[in-house]
Amino acid sequence: MAASTEYTVLTGATAVLPSGPVPDGRVVVAGERFAERAPEGAPELDLSGHWLVPGFVDLHNHGGGGAAFGAGTAEDALKAVRTHLEHGTTTLVASTVTGEMDSLAERAGLLSELAEQGSIAGIHFEGPFISPCRKGAHSEGLLRHPDPAEVRKLIDAARGQARMMTLATELPGGLDSVRLLAEQGVIAAVGHTDATYEQTREAIEAGATVATHLFNAMPPLGHRSPGPVPALLEDERVTVELVNDGTHLHPAALGLAFRHAGADRVAFITDAMDAAGFGDGRYLLGPLEVDVVDGVARLTEGGSIAGSTLTMDRAFRRGVTVDGLPVESVVRAVSTNPARLLGLGDRIGSLEPGKDADAVVLDADFRVKGVLRKGAWVVAPELS
Q: At 357, phi and psi to the nearest 5? A: -80, 70
**Alpha-carbon span 120 to 131, nearest angstrom:** 28
Distances (CA, A) of 131 to 100, 134, 251: 16, 5, 27
**Alpha-carbon span 338 to 345, nearest angstrom:** 8
**Alpha-carbon span 238 to 171, nearest angstrom:** 20
**Alpha-carbon span 16 to 25, nearest angstrom:** 8
**Alpha-carbon span 60 to 110, nearest angstrom:** 18
Beta strands in 69-133 (DSSP E): 89-96, 123-126
Among 194, 235, 245, 271, the one annotated catalytic: 271
Contact (CB, 8 A) for 281 and 330: no
Please tell me what DSSP assigns to residue 305.
Answer: B
**Alpha-carbon span 355 to 17, nearest angstrom:** 13
The CA-based dihedral angle spanning residues 236, 259, 324, 227, taken in that order and rounded to the nearest 10 degrees: 90
Instruction: Name the residue among 245, 270, 249, 267 with its Cα closest to residue 62.
Output: 270
Q: What angle do CA 124, 259, 163 make, to 5 degrees?
A: 10
Residue 141 three-state SS: helix
**Alpha-carbon span 110 to 89, nearest angstrom:** 21
Q: Is 271 a catalytic residue?
A: yes
DSSP assignments along 197-250, one per residue:
HHHHHHHHHHT--EETTTTTTSPPP-SSS--HHHHHHH-TT-EEEEE-SSSS--
Burial of 40-55, coded b for 16+ CB within 10 Å and e otherwise, reads eebeebebeebbbbbb
**Alpha-carbon span 377 to 35, nearest angstrom:** 17
Q: Which residues are part of the catalytic machinery?
A: 271
